[in-house]
Amino acid sequence: MPIPDFQTLMRPLLQHLSDGSDHSNQETVSVLVDQFRLSEEERIQLLPSGKQSVFTNRIAWAKSHLKQAGLIESPRWGVYRISARGLTLLRATEGPINIKVLSQFPEYQKFRSSKPAEAEVIEEPPSGDEMTPEEHIEYGYKQIRQKLSIEILERIKKCPPDFFERLVVDLIVAMGYGGSRSDAGRAIGRAGDGGIDGIVKEDRLGLDVIYIQAKRWEGTVGRPEIQKFAGALQGQKARKGIFITTSSFTKEAQDFASLIDTKVILIDGAELADLLIDHGVGVIKGDVYEIKRIDSDYFLVDE
């Protein structure tokens, strides 16, 4: 039979996890291969990159969407289990579980409406001739990048606080700030005054400095936290500050930061993930596809 798409896999995946136990990725793949009676050729069919099987990739996408809807949980990397909501949905519904079904949950609605760095594009591209080959490549690139952004933030939130401080140091240096890494490393993580976590040079000569607050946050960061940080900057007679969080900022917090005289840059989890990817921090280069085009000059001939 054809390899099922990721939406077709959602209900069987939930049923596989319905015993409430933790299941590894490898175990899940093995069970679903048997359930769909895939041939050996279908089981080992690879993506164009040659790095992962098509079936494993589709299971990963199904897990990603189910997790965003709160139907499954990941207690540790590479291991999944069903949530109470997942069990309730499985028992209360019949037929396919797909994007339309998941859209009833507020978390999934937020996931769908969030900006690209916070959520992967989950619709499959139009079929047939509706997209050019170049558009398919661009679409796939966006999917991969957005899924990577989610994975980066999940990893950060599971790491200890001192790791986040080191990550901030590496990012600041990669962006060209902070002087040397040793300088930036000594600056970040020092006991601060009024919410200031560190001070780094704006350039290698130290002609100006930037005050930083870097916090892993579970809830949305509101205006009071930004006011506190701005007050600390004024106490230091500082002109520039960066507030970095793994979460997001309320509109009130953003409006306040834009209205005060002190320059305060807010970097939320989505932008943080983008910056890490763009500057190569915590990520490595994967497959590179080189697209060739006709060299028109080469084929110019005198008539």
Q: The CATH number of the domain where 62 resides is what?
A: 1.10.10
Shared-domain flag, residues 88 and 170: no
At residue 30, the pLDDT reads 94
224 assigned to some structural domain: yes
Shared-domain flag, residues 248 and 182: yes
Name which of 105, 113, 24, 121 is nearest 67 in CA terms. Answer: 105
At residue 186, the pLDDT reads 54
Shared-domain flag, residues 201 and 105: no
Euclidean distance between CA atoms 142 and 121, whole angstroms: 7
Euclidean distance between CA atoms 230 and 241, whole angstroms: 8
Q: What is the pLDDT of residues 240-254, one digit of tens each?
A: 899 999 988 999 999
Shared-domain flag, residues 97 and 184: no
* Burial (Cβ within 10 Å: 0-12, 13-18, ≥19) of residue 49: exposed
301 assigned to some structural domain: no
Give the structural domain span for 198.
Answer: 161-278
- 198's tokens: 């560190």
Euclidean distance between CA atoms 187 and 218, whole angstroms: 25
Exposed e or buried b per residue across 224-244, where buried means at least 16 C-beta atoms within 10 angstroms of its C-beta = ebbeebbebbeebebeebbbb
- Among 51, 80, 113, where does a domain finish? 113
- CB–CB of 82/88 below 8 Å? no
The list of the chain residues with pLDDT below 50 reads 115-129, 191
At residue 122, the pLDDT reads 40
Shared-domain flag, residues 165 and 106: no
Q: What share of the chain is helix, strand, coil (3-state, %, to 5)?
A: 45, 10, 40
Residue 121 to residues 41, 111, 112, 206: CA-CA distances in angstroms? 29, 10, 8, 42
249 assigned to some structural domain: yes
Shared-domain flag, residues 174 and 274: yes
Shared-domain flag, residues 106 and 166: no
143 assigned to some structural domain: no
Give the pTM: 0.59
Shared-domain flag, residues 106 and 205: no
The domain spanning residue 209 has which CATH number?
3.40.1350.10
Shared-domain flag, residues 20 and 92: yes
At residue 49, the pLDDT reads 64
Shared-domain flag, residues 168 and 104: no
208 assigned to some structural domain: yes
Which position has the token pair 């089981």? 43
Shared-domain flag, residues 167 and 273: yes
138 assigned to some structural domain: no
DSSP state of 46: B
130 assigned to some structural domain: no
Shared-domain flag, residues 267 and 174: yes
- Among 80, 113, 146, where does a domain finish? 113
At residue 53, the pLDDT reads 85
Name the amino acid, one letter, at 25: N
Q: Count of domains in the chain?
A: 2
154 assigned to some structural domain: no
Name which of 170, 174, 150, 151 is nearest 162 in CA terms. Answer: 170
- 281's tokens: 């921090």
Q: Find the helix or strand (DSSP H, E) in which 224 lies.
A: helix 223-235
